[in-house]
């Protein structure tokens, strides 16, 4: 899949992170290997540079430790006075955070990021002060020594033997905007130390002797450089994510998994897949097929193909290479595909007569890395193989028989030794047998073995032999102790075994889950998700399952491929409540299935039904695993749902665009004949001899109809353009007066004879308008007023400005707007009254609204209290340019006068 394409969420979070970052101050860390390398000095020189460029920079804290050269650097820089806290008989000085925040410089210097503040400060640590400064938008310069980094603290303690208590979380370091490494060669540092140029606190003087050894310094220096390199690597990865350059980066260190017959191919493939994921490199999986016909059995071949299929699923490129010599075939393949590392199995035991493949390859070439995966003890997990049942394991009598046999054998073996060994040592042999049984067969058989062992011991070894009677009273103590010890050891051993098994089991489950989530993330269809989920449940537990998805109307629908019958009642209950139901829950436990809701972030997507034949209660970890599986599936369903939504939207947008362009084309083609129609009518009017008055009237009608048609086409065209988003606003700052004037001029014919009152406040600001479109808005509103009011009734236009916007009201003296439809009249193809004889299709006001919205303004209609309609247009004020060109000199024409 396209991993290198960042998804919208990623981009969004990146944008928000960047926004937050832009507001936040920047943290610059001067990072050094140890004290005395000159971090503070470096910080101060940088600060002085900034100061020269007039940056507002102040000193929060700088520890000069009385060093003259450092002290000199601080000369002439503003300092935030330290805050004094009275403590017992003297005052403790500490950085004054509130003063710094109040001062709000551009940059503040905060030496020694790891410093612990004195008791009673706002934050216990200085780095917390720094966080607050950064949050306030202040840039911070600071210094850190490598041993103060939390994660390296232990390592450095191990190297140098000095425990540092003042630490900085690595997060702070990693989130810093810039890290400057102040590097200083250890030899010179030791020299500086010898000259007494390095400040050390009194109590540290002794420790320092050990600390400033060359070995330590070298180690610290390496650590600091490596830590910075890690950070740079992290930055690089972030950069790659940002700039989608994944593909451009050269392929490196690619892996080749070598799958051989009869070995544990699956493990090799999985290991290789994991490595490839960690290294973020592509990988291949190949199997070399010997060309001799006796080479492989059909079954082995099937197994190999299955493993290669798995590799393919895990993202590998796979191949089967027919070749006589396995090693050279692999080497050739690796060369051809530029793969530098081979991953292969290490046989569990060496056969002296067979040279391992790895050795053979090593003998052939020496520039390929070979990784050998341990295959010992790994039992292959076949995907098709149902795993053991989950109910209580039935008592396995064989184990108990084996325990008895073990005790019997011990008794037999010990009998000839009776004369040689002390009785107490024979007891030991029995204990050994119990431990063995516990390890092999578990708790129950171990208990049995303990009792039988004691019995056999008494019967065969304790005099009188062959009788349970005991001659010496002391043996009772022996028996008791032996029994107790046997029981305890047996229990402990068996417990250990159970734990190991549990851990292995958990590990396996997590791996399974991980693989499932990987598969899910690649799934593109709901069916795939259902199949992956079912496969996981079948593989992990041997459960049959079915998935029910909800459709638009929240009706559950069984997905194809369901392996079990679903009780729809239980499923619906679970879906409605969003809770699990059915077997192994408290709700409807008699049902055959367990039903788990598929709860995604936005809503329930459906339910997962699992058939639990013969199992009454699931173990908690099983239940957890099933819930996790359900969650993963739900998220995948949701993702797929949104992919579909997005695709639908794109299709919708596309068809909308098509419709609009079609509309434009039609409108345009309608207009040309109209133009000639109008022209011809006009010309007809001018013919000589002059037409009769009746003819003239007909000609006029023809012309007017054509003009009206044209207006209609114009409206349609405008609406199409506005809706398709093809309108590019040509906004310019201009006085409202001019637009009103041109609208009145273009409407002069229809307004003829009407008393017009234009009242624009003298203080109206310039507005950022597209003059043509706003003229159209005013024209349409005026036209509307003319249409619906009695002829010769007055119209008033008024313009007022408030602090936020400029309001233009156009009022008439007609019947007013139809009550309750003040908003509806702005809809497309809406008219005040349906049966009106007034011409028009009701696009005019819809266009007005679209244009006003494009300008960030609004238009509303109302009926005035005094009667008559009123249209209120609100324009945002914006920030008009203050320069009106009065002071601008024309270079071409010197001012006259």
Partner 1 sequence: MSEIRAKILIVEDEADIRRFVRMALESEGHEAFEADCLKRGLIEAGTRRPDLIVLDLGLPDGDGVDFIRDLRGWSNSPVVVLSARSGENDKIAALDAGADDYLVKPFGAGELMARVRAQLRRRAQQATPGEPMIRFDDICLDLSRRVVERNGEPLHLTPIEYRLLACVATQPNRVITHRQLLKLVWGPGHIEDTHYVRVHMANLRKKIERDASMPKHIVTESGIGYRFVL
Min CB(758)–partner 1 separation in Å: 4
Q: Which is nearer to partner 1, 429 or 702 (CB)?
A: 702
Min CB(774)–partner 1 separation in Å: 9
- The distance between the two most distant Cα atoms of the chain, rounded to a whole number of Å, is 158
Print burial letters for 2-30: b (CB count within 10 Å at least 16), e (below 16): eeeebeeeeeeeeeeeeeeeeebbbbbbb
Question: How far, in Å, CA of 408 to CA of 626, rounded?
Answer: 46
Min CB(65)–partner 1 separation in Å: 59
Are 468 and 459 a contacting pair, CB within 8 Å?
Answer: yes
Q: With H, G, I as helix, E, B as strand and everything else as coil, classify residue 617.
A: coil
Q: Which is nearer to partner 1, 730 or 833 (CB)?
A: 730
List all residues 6 or more positions away from 370 whose beta carbon is below 8 Å from its beta carbon.
Answer: 341, 342, 344, 358, 361, 362
Min CB(802)–partner 1 separation in Å: 21
Q: Which is nearer to partner 1, 120 or 673 (CB)?
A: 673
The end-to-end CA distance of the chain, in Å, is 75
Print burial letters for 90-100: b (CB count within 10 Å at least 16), e (below 16): eebebbbbeeb
Min CB(780)–partner 1 separation in Å: 14
Question: How far, in Å, CA of 22 to CA of 63, rounded?
Answer: 30
Question: How far, in Å, CA of 217 to CA of 578, rounded?
Answer: 61
Token reading at 150: 């939390």
Min CB(716)–partner 1 separation in Å: 12
Q: With H, G, I as helix, E, B as strand and everything else as coil, classify residue 266.
A: helix
Q: With H, G, I as helix, E, B as strand and everything else as coil, classify residue 200.
A: coil
How is 718-760 classified by DSSP, letter by letter? HHHHHHHT------EEE-HHHHHHHHHHHTHHHHTT--EEEEE
* 187: phi then psi, degrees, rounded to nearest 5: -60, -45
Min CB(228)–partner 1 separation in Å: 49
Q: Which is nearer to partner 1, 351 or 896 (CB)?
A: 896
CB atoms within 10 A of CB 336: 8
Token reading at 382: 């076949």
List all residues 6 or more positions away from 251 whose beta carbon is below 8 Å from its beta carbon.
Answer: 281, 282, 338
Return the residue matching tokens 């990987």: 518
List all residues 6 or more positions away from 776 whose beta carbon is below 8 Å from its beta carbon.
Answer: 718, 847, 848, 851
Question: How far, in Å, CA of 95 to CA of 75, rounded?
Answer: 19
Min CB(803)–partner 1 separation in Å: 21
User: Strand 83-87 to strand 90-94: parallel, antiparallel, or no bridges (unpaired)?
Assistant: antiparallel
Q: Which is nearer to partner 1, 760 or 846 (CB)?
A: 760
Question: How far, in Å, CA of 217 to CA of 208, rounded?
Answer: 11
Question: How far, in Å, CA of 618 to CA of 624, rounded?
Answer: 10
Q: Report the interface residues with partner 1, using CB under 8 A.
A: 668, 671-680, 682-683, 685-688, 703, 706-707, 710, 714, 717, 721, 730, 732-735, 737-742, 744-746, 756, 758, 760, 766, 770-772, 775, 880-881, 883-886, 888-893, 895-897
Min CB(877)–partner 1 separation in Å: 15
Q: What angle do CA 205, 206, 212 make, to 5 degrees?
A: 75
Describe the strand order of the beta sheet including 604-611 as a list of residue ranges: 556-558, 544-550, 604-611, 593-599, 581-582
Q: Which is nearer to partner 1, 679 or 876 (CB)?
A: 679
Min CB(738)–partner 1 separation in Å: 5
Min CB(861)–partner 1 separation in Å: 23
Token reading at 599: 């709860």
Are 309 and 288 a contacting pair, CB within 8 Å?
Answer: no
Q: Which is nearer to partner 1, 275 or 678 (CB)?
A: 678
User: Strand 78-79 to strand 57-61: parallel, antiparallel, or no bridges (unpaired)?
Assistant: parallel
Long-range contacts of 237-241 (CB under 8 A, 24+ apart): 241/6, 241/10
Min CB(868)–partner 1 separation in Å: 21
Min CB(825)–partner 1 separation in Å: 25
Min CB(762)–partner 1 separation in Å: 10
Q: Which is nearer to partner 1, 349 or 688 (CB)?
A: 688
Min CB(5)–partner 1 separation in Å: 37
């Amino acid at each position: 899949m396209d991993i290198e394409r960042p998804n919208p969420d990623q981009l969004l979070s990146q944008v928000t992170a960047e926004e937050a970052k832009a507001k936040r101050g920047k943290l610059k860390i001067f990072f050094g290997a140890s004290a005395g390398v000159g971090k503070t000095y470096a910080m101060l020189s940088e600060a002085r540079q900034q100061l020269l460029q007039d940056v507002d920079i102040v000193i929060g804290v700088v520890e000069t430790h009385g060093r003259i050269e450092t002290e000199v650097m601080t000369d002439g820089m503003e300092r935030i006075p330290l805050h004094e806290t009275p403590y017992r008989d003297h005052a403790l000085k500490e950085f004054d955070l509130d003063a710094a925040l109040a001062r709000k410089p551009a940059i503040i210097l905060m030496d020694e990021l790891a410093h612990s503040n004195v008791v009673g400060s706002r934050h216990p640590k200085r780095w917390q002060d720094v966080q607050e400064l950064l949050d306030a938008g202040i840039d911070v310069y600071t210094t850190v020594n490598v041993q103060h980094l939390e994660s390296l603290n232990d390592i450095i303690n191990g190297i140098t033997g000095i425990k540092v208590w003042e630490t900085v979380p690595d997060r702070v370091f990693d989130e810093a905007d810039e890290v400057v490494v102040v590097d200083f060669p250890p030899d010179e540092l030791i020299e500086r130390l010898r000259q007494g140029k390095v400040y050390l606190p009194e109590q540290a003087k002794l420790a320092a002797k050990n600390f400033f050894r060359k070995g330590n310094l070298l180690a610290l220096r390496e650590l600091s450089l490596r830590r910075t390199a890690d950070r740079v690597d992290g930055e690089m990865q972030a950069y790659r994510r940002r700039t989608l350059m994944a593909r451009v980066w050269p392929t490196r260190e690619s892996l080749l998994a070598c799958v051989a017959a009869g070995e544990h191919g699956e493990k090799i493939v999985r290991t290789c897949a994991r490595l490839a994921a960690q290294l973020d490199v592509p990988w291949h999986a190949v199997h070399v097929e010997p060309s001799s016909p006796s080479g492989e059995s059909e079954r082995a071949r099937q197994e190999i193909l299955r493993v290669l299929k798995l590799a393919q699923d895990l993202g590998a490129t796979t191949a089967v290479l027919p070749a006589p010599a396995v090693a050279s075939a692999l080497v050739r393949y690796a060369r051809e595909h530029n793969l530098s590392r081979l991953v292969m199995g290490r046989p569990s035991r060496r056969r002296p007569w067979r040279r391992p493949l790895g050795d053979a390859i090593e003998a052939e070439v020496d520039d390929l890395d070979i990784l050998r995966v341990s295959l010992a003890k790994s039992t292959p997990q076949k995907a098709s193989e149902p795993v053991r049942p989950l109910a209580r394991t039935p008592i396995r009598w064989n184990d108990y028989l084996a325990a008895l046999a073990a005790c019997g054998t011990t008794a037999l073996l010990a009998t000839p030794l009776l004369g040689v060994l002390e009785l107490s040592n024979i007891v030991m042999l029995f204990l050994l047998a119990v431990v063995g049984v516990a390890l092999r067969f578990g708790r129950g058989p171990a208990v049995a073995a303990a009792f039988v062992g004691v019995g056999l011991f008494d019967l065969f070894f304790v005099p009188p032999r062959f009788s349970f009677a005991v001659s010496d009273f002391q043996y009772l103590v022996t028996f008791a102790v032996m029994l107790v010890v046997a029981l305890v050891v047996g229990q402990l051993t068996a417990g250990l075994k159970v734990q190991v098994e549990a851990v292995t089991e958990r590990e396996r489950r997590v791996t399974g889950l991980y693989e499932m989530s990987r598969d899910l993330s690649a799934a593109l269809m709901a069916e795939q998700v259902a199949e992956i989920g079912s496969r996981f449940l079948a593989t992990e537990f041997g459960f049959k399952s079915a998935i029910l998805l909800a459709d638009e109307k929240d009706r559950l629908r069984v997905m194809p491929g369901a392996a079990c019958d679903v009780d729809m009642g239980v499923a619906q209950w679970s879906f409605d409540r969003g809770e699990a139901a059915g077997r192994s829950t408290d709700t409807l436990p008699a049902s055959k299935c367990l039903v788990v809701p598929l709860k995604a972030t936005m809503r329930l997507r459906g339910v997962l039904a699992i058939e639990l034949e013969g199992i009454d209660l699931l173990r908690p970890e099983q239940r957890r695993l099933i819930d996790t599986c359900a969650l993963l599936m739900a998220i995948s369903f949701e993702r797929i749902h949104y992919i579909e939504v997005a695709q639908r939207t794109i299709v919708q947008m596309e068809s909308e665009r098509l419709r609009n362009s079609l509309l434009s084309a039609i409108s345009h083609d309608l207009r040309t004949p109209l133009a000639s129609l109008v022209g011809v009518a006009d010309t007809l009017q001018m013919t000589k001899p002059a037409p009769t008055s009746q003819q003239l009237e007909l000609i006029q009608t023809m012309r007017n109809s054509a003009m009206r048609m044209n207006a209609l086409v114009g409206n349609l065209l405008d609406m199409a353009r506005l809706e398709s988003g093809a309108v590019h606003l040509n906004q310019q700052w201009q006085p409202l007066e001019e637009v009103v004037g041109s609208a009145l001029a273009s409407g002069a014919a229809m307004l003829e004879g009407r008393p017009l009152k234009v009242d624009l406040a003298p203080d109206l600001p310039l507005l950022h308008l597209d003059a043509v479109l706003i003229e159209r808005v005013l024209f349409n509103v005026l036209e509307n007023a003319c249409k619906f009011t009695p002829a010769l009734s007055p119209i008033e236009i008024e313009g007022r400005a408030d602090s936020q916007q400029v309001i233009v009201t156009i009022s008439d003296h007609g019947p007013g707007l139809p009550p309750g439809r003040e908003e509806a009249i702005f809809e497309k193809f809406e008219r005040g009254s349906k049966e009106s004889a007034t011409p028009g299709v009701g696009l005019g006001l819809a266009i007005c609204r679209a244009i006003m919205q494009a300008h960030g303004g609004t238009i509303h209609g109302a009926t005035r209290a005094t009667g008559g309609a009123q249209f209120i247009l609100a324009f945002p004020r914006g920030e008009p340019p203050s320069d009106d060109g009065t002071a601008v000199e024309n270079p071409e024409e010197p001012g006259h006068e």
